[in-house]
Structure 1
Amino acid sequence: MKVKCVICDQIESLDDDSPIAKKLRNRPIHTYMCQQCYDRIKEKTEARISTGKFKLYSTNVPEDEWW
């Protein structure tokens, strides 16, 4: 299965029986990101978290605690 990274447009080939290929085939809303882009985003996110200015907003907060 040929896939294209949504960020850098790099085309890669996946094994048809791999779990990621099955996920992409069965749920078209899911997108593929190459390992280089995934690692780059992971490093930058960890760097932002370590600054202390990064705030993660969760949607699982009950409404009475939100106000």
Structure 2
Amino acid sequence: MREVQCIICDRKVFIDEATVEAKRLQNNPIRTFMCDDCKSRLDKPKQRPYTQETQRNATDKRCHKQPKKSLKKNKKTAKTKKTD
């Protein structure tokens, strides 16, 4: 058994040395370890309840985009030569 420490919650956990994760930590000590609780917290995005306010904010962001500036330059009219 190998004792490792979670980088987020600083909890010490024992993992089996035969696992791939333990071998990676042994060969490359710079690699970090996260406990299962911290992994599950980071893997699942925070679900927010649906409200009319969240829907309004989502549509406001889409509707108020700045228009793109035109890259085309105005064409100058050809100058006509006067002949006297």
What TM-score, normalized to structure 1?
A: 0.63
Give the letter aligned to residue 9 of structure 1.
D
Larger Rg: 2
RCO higher in structure (CA 8 A, sep ≥6): 1
**Number of residue pairs aligned between Structure 1 and Structure 2:** 47
Q: 1:16 maps to which residue?
A: 17
In structure 1, the residue corresponding to 2:16 is in which secondary structure? coil
Deviation, 1:32, is 0.2
In structure 2, list runs of 5 or more residues that go unmatched: 48-57, 59-84
Hey, what's the Cα distance between the residues in 2 that align with 1:15 and 1:27? Answer: 17
Q: 1:5 maps to which residue?
A: 6
Hey, what's the Cα distance between the residues in 1 that align with 2:26 and 2:33? Answer: 11
Q: 2:70 maps to which residue?
A: none
In structure 1, list runs of 5 or more residues that go unmatched: 53-67
1:19-54 Cα distance to aligned partner (Å, 9 max, x none): 100000001110000010001011127x5xxxx9xx
Query: In angstroms, what is the RMSD of aligned CA positions?
Result: 1.7
More helix by share: 1
Q: 1:43 maps to which residue?
A: 44
Provide runs of 4+ in structure 1 moved above 6 Å: none
What TM-score, normalized to structure 2?
A: 0.51
